[in-house]
């Protein structure tokens, strides 16, 4: 599969950043730090790939972090209050996240609310619902109780792939977390969905020109709802990974992740103008941001400065996306006039 030039450039820039930090921060290129990068940003990559779907249809999902918190609290309640087995909790948590995403899509597609306003409202609503159903509030004694279900905790497993391959005889290889493999699975599923199915073609068509897509017979409202549903589904997967890592869930789980996921998606070339991008970009963008933040931490840079840098990265990505959109406009007008 051939990479787009912008994706190839992003991959090259990411390699340069990692190489620079390997020189400036001696502990950056260690097995432990690579493990931290894979475990700490695999769920961010999943969220960024989920966020890409609303952006591809000219929308945005500001509630994605709140859906993480909601799905996490569903896991907490079902495990510690209702004592359901993990093999039932996992699909129910995925269903909760998907339904929350579908509601976002319904508000945008059928009630014709602006995506920013709709998902900003549901951000508050989902966070409030998380507090309402919080088992930590309903049963305070559970605050210090850890989730131990093997189906859930197994998501935090690590694999000594280097040892299996016999590579540790020559080099210290990192253990790879299961969450990294889950991320690769989500990437493969979403990429196939985008590039090899009619739904994927419809996503690009709606994002490129919703009215033209409607006139071409595409059920644009259904496509938009499904795009937001996939965003909620990705948020639920991320919630499962985080709950397994922390062995619990809090009402604040996922707070602030919406900006990080938008930044990773836009850095990865998913255009805010809609209709442009793939899953490669958000995946690379998430690990680029992760590498930068971990590198700055190893260099002793304050967390507050890191937040400023994250904001600057997002601003730069949006500015670049705007410039690319302006450059594409004459080509699109020429194609349109030629067709007519």
Inter-residue contact 216 to 210 (CB < 8 Å): no
> Band of the pLDDT at 269, cuts 50, 70, 90?
confident
What phi, psi does 159 have (nearest 5°)?
-125, 130
- Helices 64-80 and 257-267: crossing angle in degrees, nearest 10, is 130
* Of 40, 61, 58, 39, nearest in space to 232 by CA: 61
C-alpha span between 112 and 121 (Å, rounded): 14
Tokens, residue 36 = 């931290």
Inter-residue contact 155 to 178 (CB < 8 Å): yes
Inter-residue contact 192 to 182 (CB < 8 Å): no
pLDDT for the residue 1: 56
Quick one: which H or E segment has residue 83?
Answer: none
pLDDT for the residue 339: 41
Q: How far is CA 331 from the centre of its chain?
A: 31
pLDDT for the residue 25: 85
Domains of the chain, earliest start first: 5-138+148-335 (1.10.3470)
Mean pLDDT of the 210-229 span:
96
In terms of pLDDT, which residue wins out, 173 or 121?
121
C-alpha span between 29 and 300 (Å, rounded): 16
Model confidence over 301-336: pLDDT tens digits?
Answer: 888 888 888 788 778 777 877 777 677 666 544 544
Model confidence over 6-44: pLDDT tens digits?
Answer: 778 888 888 998 999 999 888 888 888 899 999 989 999
pTM for the structure as a whole: 0.91
Mean pLDDT of the 139-162 span:
90
pLDDT for the residue 335: 43
* Of 185, 189, 179, nearest in space to 44 by CA: 179
> Band of the pLDDT at 155, cuts 50, 70, 90?
very high
N-term to C-term CA, the chain? 33
* Of 316, 221, 249, nearest in space to 74 by CA: 249
pLDDT for the residue 170: 60
Mean pLDDT of the 156-184 span:
79
- Specify the range with the lowest mean pLDDT, choosing from 53-62, 154-163, 243-252: 154-163
pLDDT for the residue 29: 85
Mean residue pLDDT of the chain comes to 89
Mean pLDDT of the 75-93 span:
96
Inter-residue contact 87 to 151 (CB < 8 Å): yes
């Amino acid at each position: 599969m051939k990479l787009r030039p912008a994706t190839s450039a992003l991959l090259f820039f990411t390699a340069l950043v990692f190489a620079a930090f390997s020189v400036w921060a001696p502990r950056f290129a260690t097995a432990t730090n690579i493990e931290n990068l894979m475990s700490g940003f695999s769920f961010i990559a999943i969220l960024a790939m989920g966020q890409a779907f609303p952006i591809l249809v000219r929308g945005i999902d500001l509630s994605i972090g709140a859906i993480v918190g909601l799905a996490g609290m569903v896991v907490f309640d079902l495990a510690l209050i209702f004592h359901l087995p993990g093999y039932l909790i996992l699909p129910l948590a995925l269903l909760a996240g998907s339904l929350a995403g579908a509601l976002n899509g319904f508000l945008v597609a059928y009630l014709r609310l602006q995506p920013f306003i709709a998902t900003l409202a549901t951000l508050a609503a989902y966070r409030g619902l998380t507090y309402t159903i919080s088992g930590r509030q309903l049963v305070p004694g559970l605050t210090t109780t850890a989730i131990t279900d093997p189906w859930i905790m197994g998501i935090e497993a690590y694999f000594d792939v280097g040892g299996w391959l016999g590579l540790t005889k020559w080099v210290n290889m990192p253990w790879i977390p299961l969450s990294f493999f889950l991320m690769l699975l989500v990437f493969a599923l979403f990429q196939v969905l985008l590039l090899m199915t009619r739904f994927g073609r419809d996503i690009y068509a709606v994002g490129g020109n919703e009215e033209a897509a409607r006139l071409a017979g595409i059920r644009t409202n259904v496509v938009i709802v499904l795009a937001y549903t996939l965003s909620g589904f990705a948020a639920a997967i991320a919630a499962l990974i985080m709950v397994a890592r922390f062995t619990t869930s809090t009402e604040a789980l996922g707070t602030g992740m919406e900006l990080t996921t938008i930044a990773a998606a836009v850095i990865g070339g998913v255009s805010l103008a809609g209709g442009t991008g793939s899953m490669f970009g958000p995946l690379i963008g998430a690990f680029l941001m992760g590498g930068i933040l971990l590198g700055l931490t190893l260099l002793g840079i304050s967390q507050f400065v890191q937040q400023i840098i994250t904001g600057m990265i997002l601003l730069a990505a949006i500015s670049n996306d705007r410039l690319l959109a302006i450059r594409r406009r004459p080509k699109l007008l020429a194609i349109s006039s030629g067709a007519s």
